[in-house]
Amino acid sequence: MTIERKEKIRALKFTLFSITAGIIEIVSFTLFTEVFKMSYWPAYLIALILSVLYNFTINRKVTFHSAANVPVAMLKVFGYYCVFTPLSTIGGDYLTEQCGWNKYVVLAITMILNFVTEYLFTRFFVYGKQVDNDGSVRE
């Protein structure tokens, strides 16, 4: 299989698993805001953490097939979220509370930004050349 084809399949897998992580995020965000009546930022933050834990775990094994040092990979992803989370939480809270934007529109925009930037960060910085090295059989 060509490298180009492998990368297309990898991007497709990341997209599909990100959709499931997005479902986790949307459902938990909705539960926290509508049922528990939380304001935007705590509901968003908890929902984000739940989706990140799921997404990291599944993508490391299934999408990137990486045997890279898990604590190091987690630390790199943690570094990404040390930047992304405050920006998206504060920005989202500002847009919903101060500007009156719809919380679900803000959540959707944030999720799209997260999807694109996290894929690039994970593929090229977290795993880099340590993809397809877990010993599993693939075509």
pLDDT tens, residue order, the chain (139 aa)? 798 999 999 999 999 999 999 999 999 999 999 999 999 999 999 999 999 999 999 999 899 998 888 899 999 999 999 999 999 999 999 999 999 999 999 999 999 999 999 999 999 999 998 888 876 655 5
Q: pLDDT at position 67, please?
A: 82
> What's the pTM value of the predicted model, to 2 decimals?
0.85
7 assigned to some structural domain: yes
Type of residue numbered 90: I
138 assigned to some structural domain: no
Please give the tally of structural domains in the chain.
Answer: 1
Q: pLDDT at position 138, please?
A: 55
Look-up of token digits 């990341």: 14
Q: pLDDT at position 85, please?
A: 96
72 assigned to some structural domain: yes
111 assigned to some structural domain: yes
The span from the CA of 41 to the CA of 33, in Å, is 10
13 assigned to some structural domain: yes
